[in-house]
């Protein structure tokens, strides 16, 4: 699911409900009580505002070649240009002076790129200062592809910013400015302690109206919006809109518990559902970007898939143990391959933390220290055991996976033997089948050459060109191995059999499927 307003952030109005059947006096009393219950955040906001900044960005216009105008992020640009230039009583005041110590070669404080250049896109966002010397946290999508970044302080000071580092996976970026004096700053809080229903404050730069404050609540936690591998968003109804991206979400102690990042909106406008990256995920990423200029995440070297009830049944797991992260494949030469994890293992614990899903495992592994030896608790063959694994680095692992994919060992070929099993026509993998289905040279097993309509295999979306690698927990070398595994499962009274299936053209696309057996 993608959001049309990915570069925006999130939205909402807190409304007080009144009883329609009450008399006027009762309504007034009820409203007064409700209003009194709202927190007064004026003093707190006075302290927080100076540390929240506006970020203006210039980037190359992808539509410049066809004569299109820049896609300015501010729909009120013409109005705001005049409004910001000529505030009442400000006519005689000079424009804010930049603190950039490296003005462009033309002299003065003019930015290096003309904001009216049709080859340039002008956009904006928000950010917050986390260090008195000038470190600023924002969203990666706010500064993506930037050729010029400027930071606007609440007192009117404008400073040129440089990019320290960015992380697309969590949408976090860190900027640095060089001020003449120490800057006001805010601190991250503990987002794990945030409770659904607690009050939160959003401050940012919606539609270029910098220093805007809104009050709302935490609507939900641990939201997965399919925007990245580590989705764990705080959902809020605090009013946030286009331009709030990268701004802070504060608790009433003045700590940053989230970085406002995205909205859900069918229309592109505010509908009261916004999402913030939790502080406990944003802070470690920001710290790594400052220290290394890049992220350094832990890596297990496994491919995971959802542990569905039918797959869990196929693994022989009891109903009270059908939670965890199912290992669908192990990367050759990776940490898990070296330390003994196997396809079919169900990971239920990592480094002392419970694991209830692949989503949880991805986050806790990414947060772990590279090079650290950790205990991984798995269920294998219906029994629990602990495997010790020394973590690799994800960024290196991604390169290793790409290198593995590029290596194509020679195909040895085999003799074709066709056999129908559970609606699948199976065959040995010959040179002809590899060519027809573009089957990767590394894949071993037997190939699905046809699938009968309305069959068990069809129900599981198995398709010609798929490769059966395991059946009933055993490696497959021929169609007869699959048939024997099905017969053995039926003899044992099982209602389904677990198979490991790979897409022939993509050896990394593997999954366990539980195929129902005929009674």
Tens digit of each residue's pLDDT (9 = 90 or more) over 188-230: 999 999 999 999 999 999 888 888 999 999 999 999 888 888 8
pLDDT-derived band at 105, boundaries 50, 70, 90: very low
Half-sphere exposure of 211 (CA within 13 A, CB side): 10
What was the pLDDT predicted at 69?
37
Token code pair at residue 451: 């699938």
Token code pair at residue 40: 């007064």
Q: CA–CA separation, 165 vs 175, rounded Å?
A: 7
Q: Encode pLDDT of 38-91 as tens digits.
A: 789 999 999 999 999 999 999 887 665 544 333 334 444 443 333 333 334 444
Half-sphere exposure of 416 (CA within 13 A, CB side): 12
Contact (Cβ atoms closer than 8 angstroms) between residue 390 and residue 298: no
Prediction pTM value: 0.68
212 vs 54, 95, 154, CA distance in Å? Answer: 10, 21, 11
Lowest mean pLDDT among 3-7, 35-39, 285-289, 450-454: 3-7
What was the pLDDT predicted at 43?
95
What was the pLDDT predicted at 110?
40
Q: Yes or no: is domain 419-516 CATH 2.30.42.10?
A: yes
Q: Encode pLDDT of 475-493 as tens digits.
A: 888 888 898 888 888 888 8
Measured from the Cβ of residue 389, the count of other Cβ atoms closer than 10 Å reads 26
User: Taking 50 as the threshold, does the pLDDT of residue 262 lie above it?
Assistant: yes
User: Taking 80 as the threshold, does the pLDDT of residue 162 lie above it?
Assistant: yes
The candidate with the shortest Cα–Cα distance to 341, out of 298, 381, 297, 378, is 378
Q: CA–CA separation, 102 vs 109, rounded Å?
A: 9
User: Taking 80 as the threshold, does the pLDDT of residue 183 lie above it?
Assistant: yes
Instruction: Give the rounded distance of the alpha carbon of 325 from its chain centre.
Output: 18
- At residue 165, φ and ψ (nearest 5 deg) are 180, 160
1-295 in CATH: which number?
A: 2.40.10.120
The candidate with the shortest Cα–Cα distance to 270, out of 15, 13, 7, is 13
Same fold for the pair 1-295 and 419-516:
no
Contact (Cβ atoms closer than 8 angstroms) between residue 249 and residue 234: yes
What was the pLDDT predicted at 64?
58
Q: CA–CA separation, 73 vs 49, rounded Å?
A: 23
Q: CA–CA separation, 20 vs 381, rounded Å?
A: 62
User: Taking 50 as the threshold, does the pLDDT of residue 154 lie above it?
Assistant: yes
Q: What is the 3-state secondary structure (H, E, C) of 196-236?
A: CCCEEEEEECHHHCCCEEEEEEEEEEEECCCCCCCCCEEEE
Q: Which residues of 297-317 are buried (b: 16+ CB within 10 A; e: fewer)?
A: bbbbbbbbbebeebbbbbbeb
- At residue 142, φ and ψ (nearest 5 deg) are -70, -40
Q: CA–CA separation, 470 vs 486, rounded Å?
A: 11
Contact (Cβ atoms closer than 8 angstroms) between residue 288 and residue 295: yes
Higher pLDDT among residues 328 and 88, named by residue: 328
- The superfamily CATH assigns to domain 299-406 is PDZ domain (2.30.42.10)
Q: CA–CA separation, 189 vs 215, rounded Å?
A: 18
The candidate with the shortest Cα–Cα distance to 205, out of 160, 166, 168, 150, is 150
- Residues contacting residue 194 through CB under 8 Å, at least 6 positions apart: 200, 218, 221, 234, 251, 257, 258, 278
* Beta-sheet strands, E only, within 224-324: 233-236, 248-250, 256-263, 274-278, 298-299, 302-305
- Residues contacting residue 339 through CB under 8 Å, at least 6 positions apart: 387, 388, 389, 390
Q: Where are the domains of the chain?
A: 1-295, 299-406, 419-516
The candidate with the shortest Cα–Cα distance to 139, out of 291, 275, 2, is 275
- At residue 186, φ and ψ (nearest 5 deg) are -120, 170
Residue labelled with tokens 């710290």: 287
Instruction: Give the rounded distance of the alpha carbon of 216 from its chain centre.
Output: 24
SS3 content of the chain, % helix, strand, coil (to 5): 25, 30, 45
Q: CA–CA separation, 262 vs 11, rounded Å?
A: 9
Largest distance between two CA atoms of the chain = 93
Q: What is the DSSP code (8-state) at residue 54?
A: E
- Residues contacting residue 247 through CB under 8 Å, at least 6 positions apart: 9, 52, 125, 126, 127, 128, 202, 203, 204, 205, 240, 259, 260
What was the pLDDT predicted at 267?
65
Contact (Cβ atoms closer than 8 angstroms) between residue 7 and residue 242: yes
Which residues are catalytic, by number?
A: 141, 171, 245
3-state secondary structure of 507: strand
Mean pLDDT of 390-414: 68
Q: CA–CA separation, 417 vs 302, rounded Å?
A: 32
């Amino acid at each position: 699911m993608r959001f049309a307003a990915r570069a925006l952030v999130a939205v909402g109005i807190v409304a007080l409900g009144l009883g329609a059947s009450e008399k006027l006096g009762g309504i007034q009393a009820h409203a007064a009580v409700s209003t009194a219950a709202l927190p007064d955040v004026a003093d707190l906001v006075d302290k927080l505002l100076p540390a929240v900044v506006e970020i203006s960005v210039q980037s190359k216009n992808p539509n410049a070649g066809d004569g299109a105008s820049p896609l300015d992020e501010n729909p009120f640009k013409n109005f705001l240009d005049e409004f910001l230039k000529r505030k009442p009583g400000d006519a005689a005041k000079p424009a804010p002076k930049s603190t950039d110590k490296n003005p462009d070669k033309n002299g003065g404080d003019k930015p290096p790129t003309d904001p009216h250049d049709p080859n340039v896109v002008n956009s904006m966002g928000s950010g917050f200062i986390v260090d008195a010397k000038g470190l600023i946290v924002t969203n990666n999508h706010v500064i993506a592809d930037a050729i010029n970044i400027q930071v606007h302080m609440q007192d009117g000071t404008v400073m040129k910013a440089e990019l320290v580092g960015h992380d697309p996976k969590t949408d976090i970026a860190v900027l640095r400015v060089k001020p003449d004096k120490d800057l006001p700053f805010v601190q991250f809080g503990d987002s794990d302690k945030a409770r659904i229903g607690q009050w939160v404050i959003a401050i940012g730069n919606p539609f270029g109206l910098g220093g805007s404050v809104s009050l709302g609540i935490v609507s939900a936690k641990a939201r997965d919006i399919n925007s990245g591998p580590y989705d764990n968003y705080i959902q809020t109804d605090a009013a946030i809109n286009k331009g709030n991206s990268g701004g802070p979400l504060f608790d009433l102690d003045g700590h940053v518990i989230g970085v406002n990042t995205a909205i859900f909106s069918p229309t592109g406008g505010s509908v009261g559902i916004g999402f913030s990256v939790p502080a406990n995920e944003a802070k470690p990423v920001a710290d790594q970007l400052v220290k290394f200029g890049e992220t350094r995440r832990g890596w297990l070297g496994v491919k995971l898939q959802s542990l569905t009830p039918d797959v869990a049944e196929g693994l022989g797991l009891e109903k009270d143990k059908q939670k965890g992260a199912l290992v669908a494949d192990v990367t050759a030469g990776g940490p898990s391959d070296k330390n003994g994890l196997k396809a079919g293992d169900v990971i239920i614990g990592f480094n002392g933390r419970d694991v209830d899903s692949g989503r949880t495992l991805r986050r806790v592994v990414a947060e772990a220290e590279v090079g650290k030896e950790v205990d991984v608790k798995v269920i294998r063959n219906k029994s629990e055991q602990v495997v010790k694994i020394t973590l690799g680095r994800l960024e290196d692992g991604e390169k290793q996976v790409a290198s593995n994919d590029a290596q194509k060992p020679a195909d040895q070929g085999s003799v074709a033997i066709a056999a129908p099993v559970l609606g699948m026509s199976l065959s040995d993998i010959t040179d002809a089948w590899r060519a027809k289905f573009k089957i990767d040279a590394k894949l071993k097993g037997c190939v699905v050459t046809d699938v009968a309509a309305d069959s068990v295999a069809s129900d599981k979306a198995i398709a010609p060109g798929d490769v059966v690698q395991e059946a009933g927990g055993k490696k497959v070398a021929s169609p007869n191995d699959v048939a024997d595994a099905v017969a053995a499962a039926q003899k044992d009274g099982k209602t389904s059999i677990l198979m490991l299936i790979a897409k022939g053209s993509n050896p990394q696309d593997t999954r366990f499927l539980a195929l129902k057996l005929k009674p």
